[in-house]
Structure 1
Amino acid sequence: MPKLSGSSNWKIAEMLRFSYTAFNPQGRQQKGQIDAVDLADARRRLRADGLSISDLKAAQAGSEKPQAASAVRFGRSFNTTRFFADLSVLMNAGLGVDQALRAMQDAASRTGDRQIIGRMIERLSSGATPSVALSSLHGLPEDALALISSGEHSARLPYVMKIVAADLEKRDAQRKQLIDASVYPLFLLAMMFLAIGVVTFVLVPTLEPIFESSGRSPPFIVAMLSSVRGALGDPVVILTIFAGIVCVTIFAMMRPSAMRTAFAAVVLKLPFLGRAISQSALARYLQSLSLLLDNAVPLPDALALSARCCPAVAFREKLLSMRDAVISGKRLPEAFKACGLFPRGIVSLVAIGDEVNKLPTVLENAAGVLRSDAQRLTDRLLALMTPLITIFLGILIGGLVVSVMTALLGINELSVQ
């Protein structure tokens, strides 16, 4: 089992960026940014410079970008996936991060791409770590940055860059596959809502007076659509719906991280998709933990850093609790079992790896098992999505047609009488 003590000379040295507002000894206010290990380190550095801190918080990634970089976004966006693929090839060929970035800057055909890569080179030249330098990339997933940080600490950065590049390519392929598979179902949904709208606002108002004049109750679906039309015509209902949309939009703009967290928590509870996402996220955690332990990183530090590599934010608190459990004296298999996130088979594999002192290898294999299960679930979901939605829409539209035909036959009966 890896050592739990701090006997290793390895130490986390990742620098984070913090924005501050402070007063100098002359009483003048000044604002700026500072790189530090954590919030306490940033506060200590500012006080050492004789500054009285008024406000100190973590700076958002890329907040210091010049306006020229923002303008680039309105054109063709920076291809992050292609960037990491090229960076991985160069670094695995033996180039350092700065050398690979300079080669990519020289080969870039667009001015915006050269500016973005140039800012990374400037950060590296000023002493920033690769993970801090790459954090200026707009839209780079947080778990990818954490994985790059783990590569810095494990001295296997080229290998980690290859993993990140492959993962980004896989995400793009899955996103394209999902979009392609969703086109036809979304078209069917649009047609369904259009048909229901025509029936609700055109056909139902024509049928209602006939049933009212004859004293007969309309069919169930006609009565239901009539109620929906009446509700949508009520100003109070419309105002309530509009106010709800505005509130959700404002909250999403002011607290985007909280909105993403809430949305992710809902997605994780979905029957098939949630399970696939959960297994993929836990596979990333196990992969990072294996990488760190394979390079003699102390177990508590590896557990803390690997938790950041988990894409599912809702899991991170439980994953961090495993580190506290290990520090308190529990063995790693016991911490895995108490966490409650991992399947029983994975917990058994971890226990075996801990017993035979092959934990990194076993964790890598366990990550592969979870990735395979997640891919299998995703493939099944995509294969079943189109026929399931088609059947569902067929039942809805068929029921609507039957109800309308029943209503028409009822009208015919009334006319005969």
Structure 2
Amino acid sequence: MEFYYDAKDRSGKTISGTHNSPGEQELLSWIRGNGWVPLNVSQHREISLTVPGDKLADSAAKERSEFWDLSPRIRLRDKLVFFRQLATMIAAGIPVTASLAILTEQTQNRRFRSVLTRVYKRVSAGTTLGSALAENPKCFDAITIPLVRSGEESGTLDMSLAKIASFMEDQENLRKKIISAMTYPTVVICIALLVLGVMVAVVVPQFEKAFGNLNIELPTLTLMTFKFGRWMQHNWYVIPLVIIVAAILLRQLRKMKSMKMPVDTLLLKIPIFGDIIFKASLTRSFRTMGSLLRSGVPVLSSLEMTAEVAGNERIKRGFLEMRDGASMGRALNAVVREKKLFPPMIGHMIAVGEETGRTDEMLEKIADWYDAELSEKIKRLSSILEPVMVVFVGIIVGFMVLAIFLPIISAINAFM
């Protein structure tokens, strides 16, 4: 019979795998004979893990498969649910390999299921969970891997997985807050542009034809509106094309090393929205660093990993400068206070954390502070944007109405 097993080796490291044995007692004897301490054992049950399009032959084949895979992308929510369920199952005593098999079978997202299948097969072959996850860097980031490895080495894998799930949940909530801040103005602007397009393409030409038959002198505003209407009828696609090209250009500029810093610095200077980007980045960054330090990851490694999740090149540079200062033996709070990027409060709180030996706790408090600030900022922004957007739409509609009715008023005055 084939069994799953979890055990600790002589160095205290958690290992998982499968082994053929006549029975459970024989398996336990085999584990102890290797000098390991058995943690969990369970009989293997055959589970089909066939994934359409799954390629395990070589990396090139996998990349081609992923390129042509039209299934939904792997969302943060998918990974959050996976880590939460995996933590629960391991805490309940189910071996890692068996837990992976069950969760892989239950996963609906084809792309994520393909990744989990590879992880399951590697763990079944004796690889640690952390190493198996590290082989899929496009799915599991540099923050997840050290937390998993820390849990495996300390024998608290379930707690580490639960911490990862909580961290991802915070990220998901942060993402939702930012989306909620952008949704209302985006919808209103789209509606305003749609109304403007309909009026220019349908309503304005009718009035232009009517005014042409009246042979009256038209105001400059009306002539400009009619000219714009004629241009829109033949070149309506230019405006959405310019918006799409501008968005693609901005995205490509952010990918260029030479342009990433100036573009991200400019984004931070945008009124209102720049402050939201700044607070969101600090919330994510300090929560990440606090979680890493609490899990036993060294300070320098934590700073380097935190820089990678900052989401903004200017803030990333700030954390890398903190790493450089810390590598020379300087206190974190001293480095932070020198930089104009971070508010003074951050330096003071880190100083308290370093003096009391609770730096991880203070970093998480900083994240909580900026999370609350971000929520309040978004709430205020929503209350301000509502009347501003109404006025914006009113100005557009009013402009069009004025352009159309000015010649009508002039014609009435002329007849009178």
TM range (shorter): 0.5 to 0.7
* Secondary structure in structure 2 of the residue aligned to 1:122: helix
Q: Does 1:147 align with 2:143?
A: yes
Q: How does 1:260-299 map to 2 (within 5 A)?
A: 267-299=267-299
What displacement does 1:148 show? 0.9
Aligned 1:372-387 pairs, distance under 5 A: 372-387=372-387
Work out the CA distance in 2 between the residues paired with 1:388 and 1:360: 41
SS at match of 2:143: helix
2:351 counterpart of 1:355: no
Residue identity opposite 2:62 in structure 1: K
RMSD over aligned Cα, in angstroms?
4.5
1:4 is aligned to: none
Q: Work out whether residues 276 and 373 of structure 1, in 8 Å CA contact, stay in contact via their aligned partners in 2.
A: no
Structure 1: 5+ residue stretches without partners: 1-61
Confirm or deny that 1:65 pairs with 2:59.
no
Identity of matched residues, %: 20
State how far apart, in whole Å, the 2-side matches of 1:63 and 1:167 are.
32
> Letter of the aligned partner of 1:102 in structure 2?
A
CA distance in 2 between partners of 1:199 and 1:372 (Å)? 43
Query: Where do residues 100-139 of structure 1 align in structure 2 (5 Å cutoff)?
Result: 100-108=99-107, 114-124=113-123, 125=125, 127=127, 130=130, 133=133, 136=136
Q: CA contact under 8 A between 1:88 and 1:162: conserved in structure 2? A: yes
The alpha-carbon deviation at position 232 of structure 1 amounts to: 5.0
CA contact (8 A) 2:89 2:99 kept: yes
Q: Tell me the CA shift for residue 189 of structure 1.
A: 3.8
Q: How many residues are matched?
A: 347
* Change over 3 Å in CA distance of 1:73–1:88 after alignment to 2: farther
> Shift of residue 333 of structure 1?
0.9
* Aligned positions of 1:358-373 closer than 5 A: 358-373=358-373
Alignment of 1:151-190 (within 5 A): 151-152=147-148, 154-155=150-151, 158-169=158-169, 172=172, 188-190=188-190
Q: Supply the distance in 2 between the matched residues of 1:83 and 1:185 (Cα, whole angstroms).
A: 34
Conserved 8 A contact 1:285-1:310 = yes
Question: Partner letter of residue 336 of structure 2?
Answer: F
Cα offset, 1:362, TM superposition? 1.8
Whether the 8 Å CA contact 2:104–2:117 is kept in 1: the answer is yes
Paired residue for 1:309?
309
* Residues 268 and 275 in structure 2, CA contact (< 8 A), matched pair in contact too: yes
> What are the within-5 Å matches in structure 2 for residues 215-364 of structure 1?
215=217, 217-218=219-220, 220=221, 222-229=222-229, 257-258=255-256, 267-364=267-364
Q: Using the alignment, how far apart are the partners of 1:184 and 1:282 within structure 2?
A: 24
The answer to whether the 8 Å contact 1:69/1:115 transfers is no
Alignment of 1:74 onto 2:71:
yes
Aligned in 2, Cα 1:211/1:313: closer, same or farther, shift over 3 Å? farther
Report the AA paired with residue 330 of structure 1.
R
Structure 1 pair 183–146 and aligned structure 2 pair: CA distance change class (3 A): closer
Q: Residue type of the partner of 1:309? A: V
TM-score (norm 2): 0.64
Instruction: Name the CA distance, whole Å, in 1 between partners of 2:241 and 2:194.
Output: 21
**Greater relative CO, 1 or 2 (CA 8 Å, sep 6+):** 1
> What SS class does the counterpart of residue 74 from structure 1 fall into?
coil
Unmatched runs of 5 consecutive residues or more in structure 2: 1-58
The whole-number CA distance in structure 1 between the counterparts of 2:298 and 2:167 is: 26
The whole-number CA distance in structure 2 between the counterparts of 1:362 and 1:377 is: 22
Q: Distance in 2 between matches of 1:385 and 1:344?
A: 30
Change (3 A) 1:153 1:301: farther
Q: Residues of 2 paired with 1:299 and 1:181: CA distance?
A: 34
Distance 2:382 2:88 in 1: 32
Distance in 2, Cα, partners of 1:117 & 1:379: 39
**Distance in 2 separating the partners of 1:234 and 1:110:** 43
Q: What per-residue deviation string (whole Å, max 9, x for no partner) do you get for residues 151-170 of structure 1?
A: 14644654453344335445
- 1:45 — aligned with what? none
Superposition TM-score, scaled by structure 1 size: 0.64
Which moved further from structure 2: 190-199 or 89-98?
Answer: 89-98
